[in-house]
Amino acid sequence: MNARSLANQYKQTGASSATLDASPHQLIAIMLSTARERIRLAVASLERGDVTRKAHAITDTCAIIGGLNSSLNMEAGGEIADGLAALYDYCQRRLLAANLNNDVAPLHEIDSILGDIESAWRQIAPQVP
């Protein structure tokens, strides 16, 4: 096993441990952060000309955003949940355009949108005693 494989295995174990111990609020924060990481990977892959890796990163991001969308409580969330659902739908469509056109502009846009959501989400974190 080389150093890169060991580092990836360690990272995967750390990520798994973090999700097992996470509260529902923390899980959403992890999902938002991971989606943004995948978007940055897609951008870097496009810049290197690695369209296969770009496609995988965008597919991962779409799956995460789908998970975020499905976690919305539309009854309790009211207008906020409706707004997030619309934003997630918009993000999915922009990711599709980025993937089809090998265009980084939609990726930067989605990273910014998810960054705003992530920042707001972290600000409303429940206080732990």
The full set of domains in the chain, from first to last, is 23-123 (1.20.120.340)
pTM: 0.82
pLDDT digits (tens, 9 = 90+) for 61-72: 999 999 999 999
Instruction: Name the amino acid, one letter, at 45.
Output: S
User: By percentage, how much of the chain surpasses pLDDT 70?
Assistant: 83
Among 33, 54, 38, residue whose Cα is nearest residue 114: 33
What are the structure tokens assigned to 104, written together? 């980084």
Rounded CA-CA distance 100/119 in Å is: 29
Q: Could you give the C-alpha distances from 7 to 4, 71, 127, in angstroms and in order?
A: 5, 31, 33
